[in-house]
Amino acid sequence: MKYLINIIRLILIVIVAAYGSTIGLIILLFTGSTDKCINTAVYLFSNGVMFVCGTKFEKYGNQVIEKSPGKIYISNHESHMDPPAVSLACPHPLYYIAKKEIKYVPFIGWYIWLTGMIFIDRKNKMKSQESIKIAGEKVKSGKNVISFAEGTRSKTGELMPFKKGAFRMAKTHGLDIVPIGILGSRDIMAAGSLKIHSGKTLKVNIGEVIKADDHADLTLDELSKLTREKVKELIEELKKK
């Protein structure tokens, strides 16, 4: 019975994703605004996923973040639940840096492509660097980009070392960084598993902005380690709530 319920939940998530993406793209078609498209899709998809999974969602921390200029949001990554949670928690529309394979996923891939989000080819270093450059230009134009800097989902819940791409982008373009800590997503759907555990609480904690002027003199390694420490502190704060 539990297996059947899980299958039904997964099917409903796919339906919610297709519905949210489609309505968002209709908004884009009639308004020409990618921000309105993303806001609509996020509201429908993220809230729908939380409802289907029987998840309680809580957000904490900095909710008053200047919209312009754009910023890079850096988060830990434990589960497929992280993107809808982060999108729901953040005060501005987020543009994702997604692996190129997602481009071919019906509805979600089309939505990501048409809203101007960035696809990255992790197996091609030159193309990967070009994608990072495009992402940096988007942030400079006022868009807010999200990066799960570990590069993959943590299977143990431990915070892994951060990849350098997002920090190279921040240094090159002089961009502010917003650290984010997520707690509880792994308890709902662990990495490598499609089993959903209902009745859990997913928490997101948004940290204070790391200003470009404050990290101007830091090396890539130092900036990466500083941001990782901030994310770790945000996660530890959530454990006490």
The stretches of the chain forming alpha helices (DSSP H) are 2-31, 34-52, 82-89, 108-114, 125-140, 165-173, 185-188, 212-215, 220-239
Separation in Å, CA 170 to CA 153, 231, 233: 22, 17, 21
CA angle 66-72-76, nearest 5°? 120
Q: Do 174 and 59 meet the contact criterion of CB atoms below 8 Å apart?
A: no
- Domains of the chain, CATH where assigned: 56-239 (3.40.1130.10)
Q: pLDDT tens, 12-23?
A: 999 999 999 999
- Tell me: the pLDDT tens digits for 38-95? 999 999 999 999 999 999 999 999 877 876 678 899 999 999 999 999 999 998 899 8
3-state secondary structure of 179: strand
Of the candidates 98, 209, 198, 206, the one whose C-alpha atom is nearest the C-alpha of residue 147 is: 98
